[in-house]
A and B are shown apart, each in its own frame.
Chain A
Amino acid sequence: MNEASRCLAVVPFLCLAGFLANGLLGRRLGRNGGAAVGVAAAIASFLFSIPVAREVFSTGEAVKADLFSWIDVSDLQVKFAFLCDRLSVIMLLVVTGVGSLIHLYSAGYMAHDASVPRYFAYLNLFMFSMLLLVLGDNLLLMFVGWEGVGLCSYLLIGFWFEDPEKAYAGRKAFIVNRIGDFGFALGLFAIFMVFHSFDYETIRANLGDSNIREKLLHTFDLGIWFVDVKLSLVGAITLAFFLGAAGKSAQIPLYVWLPDAMAGPTPVSALIHAATMVTSGIYMICRLSHLFVMAPPTMDIIAGVGGATAVFAALMALAQNDIKKVLAYSTVSQLGLMFLALGTGGFSAGFFHVFTHAFFKALLFLGAGSVIHALSGEQDLRRMGGLKNKLPATFATMLIGTLAITGIPPFAGFFSKDEILWKAWEGCLTGQNVGHGLVLGLLGTVASAMTAFYMFRLLTMAFLGAPRGSAEAHSHAHESPWTMTLPLIVLAICSVAAGFLNVPHALHGGAHFSAWLQPVVAAWPEIATAQHVSHHSAERGLMVVSTLIAFGVSGFALWIYLKRPGLPAEVIQKSPGLGQLYALVRDKFYIDEAYDRVVVRPVKLTAFALWIFVDVLIIDMFINVAALVAEVVSEAARRLQDGVVGTYAVWFLAGAMLLLGYFLYILGAA
């Protein structure tokens, strides 16, 4: 066990230590103490992960750390062990790095909150769980982290639990995630049934085994449920896992929790609901990419869902006025793009977007946070504006973030998003799978175009133009303390730089990132990757087009919200159809209400009905009736005892005659 793996073993537990310290001794530590401990824990974990990263990057080999045997029943042997390979090292750095930055930021942001220790306790616990998720060397540990982060997001969303709305949002998040976890769990069961193990390596290794492949590909007919559905075992497994991923990464139909999750403190939104947790779904799929590529139908479903989510969410983002809601939907949309990439086999592309997105989305959230902080809690874009000069640093950084997410070269978003779009269009442009590629490509492009619009809308409404909010709120607005601005700046730098890690071959870049991930993620479809070289021209064309679109849309947005702020309103005035559409979009297509009507209430109603009818009315009634009958019979029986000797004598005589008759018959016959 060399030094690197020793560090690896320590990393998560630093955060756990922080959690315990804050959780148990929070009262003693007090505000500043709590914050200090929390931040220290995070940063320490980052520092400790550096040597690990160095080791991995230098050798390219995975760093392992076995701790102890966790569960050990018959053929189920689960080690509590960490594994940091080419895939997880990136997550490791993102989580610890961005995590520490956000911890630092929180120290400033939450400074005035009543229960700082609790906050940092949760945050550290989240870090711990997330690291478990990322570093666990088997699916079960990942699942532990998976549920752990779910718990933390529950706790953090409901951090200000005195507001029932927030508490409710937290619960919603947890339960929706649980639905995803249900899928994850089923996937686990199935995996174990096939591989008799949860270890990545074992699974990966056994995939080569012919009879296991054959077992996986064996298709069975689900005619019992739907009309004639054929599904291969691996298809089922991957679908189950995708359900899990969709839950965690807020894809249709399970995205509903993420927008509400904005009820939590903004740094939380940045860390959990933008940078790290929500991307764990992508991470998981990359982990199991070799499994997924065995099930093309699943891949298509993933791509479709991803694309749809991207567009759908972006659409809703267009019409939100809550600054955080906009970002939330944008996150959903970006996640959708990532899934789109995964679904088209662009595992590295998707994961690269995870990487870059972590930076600029965190940046955007934190910026939004600092705006909210400055306006002392104001979140409505319509009451902002003209903050450019009040919050220069924030504005600058957020501008960078916006450019990055919009996909303006040479910011990070450009490279990652371009790769995704290419993967989407690839089928079409290479003429292998035109229709398929066309649909996905269009979805991707539209989504990114809308991204450009709503992001610039946000930026403009918040910082440019004239202040629309109350004057004194505007006058009190001030730049945030260094603890908050510093992270912004760092993240901004990353958002600029990160892209260059993966300059595509088309631009004569090294595509180092993809190359780096090559060994750990599956290549799919084989043909495309084979002919990859021959399409650089098409790829360049796509880049140009998408860049132009980005510029155009951004400009359009700028123009509208700077010069003609009233325009949208007018348009809506003009055509009622558009108006209704707008209302529909603004109200998020009434999805929440629909869920409430279709799922939540019916379940509760069923529960109540069952309770009343089955338990109370049927079962208990049956019992009570039985008791009653007994009482009645007995009451009747005792009335026979009328107290008159003569009657007694009659029975007596009857009995005597019966006995006489019996014996005379029995013996007389003998």
Chain B
Amino acid sequence: MTLGAHDLQLFSPVLILLGTAAVAVTADLYSGKIERGALPFISLGGTVAAAISLLSLWGRNEEAFGGALRIDGLAVVMGLAACAATALSVLMSASYVRSSGIDFGEYYGLMLTAAAGAVMLAQANDLMSVFLGIEIMSIAVYCLTGITRDREKSTEAAMKYFIMGAFSTGFLLFGIALLYGAVVTTGGTEGILQSPSQSSLLRLDALARVPANTPLLAAGLALFLVGAAFKVGAVPFHAWTPDAYEGAPAPVTGFMAGVVKAGVFAALLRSATVAFPHLGLEWGGALAFLAAATMVVGNVCALAQTNLKRLLAYSSIGHTGVILVGIVVASETEHAAAAVLFYVIAYVVMTAGSFGLISLLAREGGELEDISQFSGLASRRPAAAAAMTLFMASLAGIPPTAGFMGKFLIFREAIQNREFLWLAITGIAASVVSAYYYLKIVVAMYMRDPAKGEEFPKGEDRWGAVLGLGLASIATIALGICPAKVLEWCNAAIQSVR
């Protein structure tokens, strides 16, 4: 097999993103500070272009690079989610990076590269591309986390994130190795080995042909899940999340919360449907406990947080739990998979929004992190406060918002299956808790008086963040009120995987 125009076309979204990344970096290289204002536009343009090319791929379920990638609905939808997260984050960053002195090309370059990684991960159809996708994404994100390198917190976050990340990479890789072993050791009977193609050994569908009771498969799957669970921050692999989210610059946090989840959950769904269809129950059972633990721990820990970013980090853990519930149920009903897609999209939007607000309010001194610092925001910046309230409501799952629809979709599926009812009820209980801490923020913004001399920076020069917030808010409401179309796409996407 050689790489042809066809492959490149299918691969174009990733290429566009990477190209834009290179352009951003080089543009920065060969230009003075003046043109730096153009970087966001470049990156935005690239992202939009990538999104468009993704859309152009909608409906054609084809494989590229000899099956290494599969461009189908799932890939497109999750890719779009990643692009959306990127676009929003770029918007949010525009003013932030300038105020914190990291407005150089590499920032956008890394962001776009990570996005490319996520998009590729969403398309990955063999273990190797899964691995590479995750790695590209992760490495870029490590760097982004530490990019404000004169802030101790930032570097420390990067350090922790990196150590744990590399650690988990080891597990993931070992898992892949064992899966590979499982394929080859059992493949002889199936006659794959005789096939000239080596790459086919690593394809996900090859795993589907491995007998379920192969020990190597079991171990490999376990370690593979460990790696994935780490990336999405599921308990007990979540420990890095709060630190990384708190330490990273706000726009980056929003970015990684969304993009990483989009990519990894896409991979999980794909492997669940393509690689381990025959392990549905076991897979579901294992994740069910992870999901429950994740929802509980995440929300309970968030309750006592006073640092907004950290609180949102824990809340994101909680949401991971909910999504995992969806994935668990997906092993039974395919609607659940669609629900997962929808939830990820909703999550991307509202998270980007809520971190966007932090970026918007950041100033030279740094970010507003402590909840008390948001006191009285509503009286100084009503629009921002309103938007934040919207996002909080959405995260808490209060209608009519995207978050509510997402929860509704996922718990709907969970409740449908008697054996997952307990998950749904756990989730509901957890979201009661979550309602409380999201409320704390609203209370602070609206019902407390601003601290002495607390000046919230004005929004004039922050067109990007403002625009981003606006878009996120609209999307949050729209997804909450008329989700029909998006849901259709998600269903179609899932159909296309099967």
Contact = CB atoms under 8 A, between A and B. Distances in A.
Question: Is A in direct contact with B (CB under 8 Å) within the complex?
Answer: yes
Interface string A643-670: 1010111011011100110111011101
Contact of B219 (A641, A649, A664): A664
Contact of B222 (A641, A654, A664): A664
A648 B297 CA distance: 15
Given A630-B433, A648-B160, A668 B215 contact: yes
A663 B284 CA distance: 11
A221 interface: no
Contacts of B303: 630-631, 633-634
Nearest to B239: A648
Contact of A655 (B236, B433, B436): B236
A249 B240 CA distance: 82
16 contacts: A630-B433, A633-B300, A634-B300, A634-B301, A637-B301, A637-B304, A638-B304, A643-B243, A648-B164, A649-B163, A649-B167, A651-B239, A660-B223, A663-B218, A663-B221, A668-B218
A667 B218 contact: yes
Nearest to B436: A630
B286 interface: yes
A649 B239 CA distance: 9
Contacts of A654: 236
B225 interface: yes
A139 B216 CA distance: 90
A655 B238 CA distance: 10
Nearest to B304: A634
Contact of A663 (B163, B237, B286): B286
A563 B168 CA distance: 119
Nearest to B285: A666
Interface of B: 159-160, 163-164, 167-168, 171, 212-215, 217-219, 221-223, 225-226, 229-230, 235-237, 239-240, 242-243, 279, 282, 285-286, 297, 300-305, 433, 436
Given A634-B304, A670-B213, A652 B243 contact: no
A666 B289 CA distance: 14
B242 A645 contact: no
Contacts of A75: none
A635 interface: yes
Nearest to A643: B243
Contacts of B164: 645, 648-649, 652
Given A667-B217, A668-B218, A655 B286 contact: no
Contact of A656 (B160, B226, B235, B301): B226
B219 A655 contact: no
A662 B286 contact: yes
Contact of A647 (B168, B221, B239, B285): B239
A664 B215 CA distance: 6
B172 to A, nearest CB: 11
B301 A641 contact: yes
* Consensus secondary structure, chain B interface: helix
Contacts of B229: 655, 659
Given A648-B164, A655-B229, A663 B222 contact: yes
Contacts of B239: 641, 647-648, 651-652
Contacts of B171: 656
Listed from nearest, the 8 A-B pairs whose CB atoms lie closest are A634-B303, A648-B239, A634-B304, A667-B218, A655-B236, A663-B218, A663-B222, A651-B236
Contacts of B286: 659, 662-663, 666
B304 A652 contact: no
Contacts of A668: 213, 215, 218
Given A652-B236, A666-B218, 5 more contacts: A647-B239, A663-B221, A664-B218, A666-B282, A670-B212
Nearest to B283: A663
A659 B226 contact: yes
Contacts of B163: 645, 649
B44 to A, nearest CB: 36
Contact of A645 (B160, B230, B235, B433): B160
Contacts, number: 99
A654 B229 CA distance: 13
B300 A655 contact: no
Contact of A631 (B212, B213, B304): B304
Contacts of B235: 655
A664 to B, nearest CB: 5
Nearest to A670: B213
Nearest to B302: A634
A631 B302 CA distance: 10
Nearest to B227: A656
Given A652-B164, A656-B171, A656-B226, A667 B304 contact: no
A633 B430 CA distance: 14
Contact of B168 (A652, A659, A662): A652
Nearest to A636: B304
A652 B167 CA distance: 9
A667 B182 CA distance: 13
A198 B305 CA distance: 67
A537 B425 CA distance: 90
Nearest to A630: B303
Interface string A488-518: 0000000000000000000000000000000
A634 B297 CA distance: 9
A643 B302 CA distance: 16
A647 B243 CA distance: 13
Nearest to B168: A652
Contacts of B217: 667
B212 A660 contact: no
A337 to B, nearest CB: 68
A667 B300 contact: no
Interface string A142-173: 00000000000000000000000000000000
B222 A656 contact: yes
A656 B223 contact: yes
Residue among A633, A652, A664 with most chain B CB within 10 A? A652
A649 B167 CA distance: 8
Contacts of A664: 215, 218-219, 222
Contacts of B240: 648
B301 A638 contact: yes
Contacts of A651: 236-237, 239
A428 to B, nearest CB: 77
Residue among A647, A659, A667 with most chain B CB within 10 A? A659
Nearest to B234: A655
A659 B289 CA distance: 10
A457 B168 CA distance: 109
A633 B237 CA distance: 20
Contacts of B433: 630
A638 B304 CA distance: 7
Residue among B164, B239, B304, B436 with most chain A CB within 10 A? B239
A206 B80 CA distance: 81
A635 B300 CA distance: 9
Contacts of B230: 652
A641 B215 CA distance: 34
Contacts of A663: 218-219, 221-222, 282, 286
A637 B297 contact: yes
A666 B212 CA distance: 10
A121 B215 CA distance: 97
Interface in A603-648: 630-631, 633-635, 637-638, 641, 643, 645, 647-648
A659 B226 CA distance: 8
A655 B237 contact: yes
A473 B219 CA distance: 114
A654 B225 CA distance: 14
Residue among B164, B217, B236, B286 with most chain A CB within 10 A? B236
Given A637-B301, A667-B218, A668-B218, A655 B226 contact: yes
A112 B99 CA distance: 82
Residue among B171, B218, B282, B285 with most chain A CB within 10 A? B218
Contacts of A670: 212-213
Contacts of B304: 631, 634-635, 637-638
A631 B301 CA distance: 9
Residue among A647, A655, A662 with most chain B CB within 10 A? A655
